[in-house]
Every structure is written in C-alpha cells, then in structure tokens.
Chain A
C-alpha cells in the first residue's frame, strides 16, 4: 500500500510518500504505526508517541483500531492546525 506523510511526520521520516509492504501480522492502522516505528531512527522519532499521530485511509480520517484491509493509501500526520 502507498503511505503518505505530512508536516513533522514527513520531516522525521525523511520522505513524503513510499510503498509499504508490511508483514501479514500488521492488520490495523495501529499495527502499522508500531511496525513503522521499528523501521529506523527517523521512523522511530516520527512514531515515538502514537497517541499524537492522526491517520487517514483513502483520504478519510480513521482510528488506530481500524483495519487496513482494502485501503490503497494510508496517511500519517500530526493534529491539524489549519483555519
């Protein structure tokens, strides 16, 4: 699946997007966050506090408990500060 990152998540990971191939044991958004946190220093920094990470599946806000099944794009970003 395609992963996209924004704001300080993007800066810490060091890229704006990438293709991910997590193992089959990764079934939820929260699982994916935990798996990403183990993919290197930048990822560890970006995902050190999962509670501060917001996620979207196919451009819709989603909870960490949500299943990844069927989604083509997952996004990770900090709480929004627009407006």
Chain B
C-alpha cells in the first residue's frame, strides 16, 4: 500500500526515503527522486501548480499500484505539491524500497514517467518581471518516456 500525499507544504525527502527502510531488515535498496522547480536561466520567478483534488491522489495511487503489480516492491511513497513554488524548491518526490536495486530504480523511473503524464497537475509559469507567462505545454518527450513502460491501464 503506497503512501500518497498531495500538499501545499514542502516535504523532507530524505526523511521520507529513510522511513521506508526504518525498522525493517528485508529492504536492500531505496531509490528516491526529487523534482525541483528551476528558473530557466533566470526567466522564471515561480511556478503555480493547479491540481484536481481527489483525482490527483487517486491517480497517483493507481500509478503506484501499477508499479507494485510489475515489480516486487516493499514500499512506495509519492508526494506532489501544488500552489506557488519558487525556483530551488521541491515539487515532487518518489521513493521506492525493494529487496534489490534493479526493481527500485526501474519502479522509481516508471512512477515519475507516469506521474508526469497521468497525474492531474498543471504548471503555470510566472516570469521574473511578475507577468504570468501562461500554461506550460505538455512535452511529447514525456509521453514517449511513459510509453516505454507499455500501456497504462
């Protein structure tokens, strides 16, 4: 059963990853990923993330269940923030615990590829001069990355 959180507040990614192995003797590998807001060469002042409450959590849980069905995972945590996020701040975190590193690396990558294309979040860019630049366009690269893992269902 994965831990899924959708929240405005920041999170402690190191503590989240460490918690997956704490008190257990069967975990051989924990892989974690953190996605950050970047400033695009000084152009961006912030990202504003909109989400679909209820569906965001449900879809992240569905993606986690797909990963758990595909690999023998011990634990999965996925956290995604919404609201205004400044460059340098964390946006998203996935952490996966498994017996071996292979499935932990693969599952973490699949989780991120699917979260980007399936979790209902939308980024709007706010420029350094305060103007709203507009909605970030979905990238075909992200669809290709998600498609590598086969049909989502």
Contact = CB atoms under 8 A, between A and B. Distances in A.
Interface of A: 4, 6-8, 56, 59-61, 75, 77-83
A6 B50 contact: yes
Contacts, number: 72
A81 B136 contact: yes
B127 to A, nearest CB: 17
Contacts of B55: 56, 59-60, 75
Contacts of A81: 116, 121-123, 135-138
Interface residues of B, number: 28
A1 B138 CA distance: 28
A61 B91 contact: no
Q: Which applies to chain B's interface (DSSP): helix, strand, loop or mixed?
A: mixed
Nearest to B143: A79
Interface string B108-127: 00001001111111111000
Nearest to B81: A82
Given A82-B123, A83-B119, A77 B138 contact: no
A4 to B, nearest CB: 7
A8 B51 CA distance: 12
A60 B135 CA distance: 23
Contact of B52 (A4, A79, A83): A4
